Amino acid sequence: MKPGRDLDAVIAERIFGRSAIYYKCTHALFCACPILPRYSTRMGDAWLVVNKLKESAGWGLHSLSSCCPHNTETHVSFCHDFTWAYGEGLTPSHAICNAALKATDVMGGT
């Protein structure tokens, strides 16, 4: 998936078990509704995904790399009991989200 709000909503549902509708606020200013984190575009929010996979399912971040200066993709791998989930993306946060979704596919969803 491309980075952005659609991918963020999928991450909220599949990794954190929260309905994306939970984050859709229709109120005016000064609303106390929760805001959907930008998992796929902000590295700080992507680390929440890494931590959640580790805490809830034992998936550890194994690698996070861009292999070549001319290669614009970032590669990520998670490992759990000799099982691997790989993802790539335009940025590290995007790659983390893609790999996390593959890890949930291996687990049969969360």
The answer on pLDDT for 96 being more than 70 is yes
| 5-35 tens-digit pLDDT | 899 999 999 999 987 665 666 666 666 667 7
| Neighbouring residues of 100: CB distance < 8 A, sequence distance ≥ 6 | 11, 14, 15, 49, 50, 53, 59, 78, 85, 87
Domains and CATH numbers, the chain: 5-107 (3.30.2120.10)
CA distance 54 to 93: 16
User: What is the pLDDT averaged over residues 70-86?
Assistant: 84
User: What is the pLDDT averaged over residues 72-92?
Assistant: 88
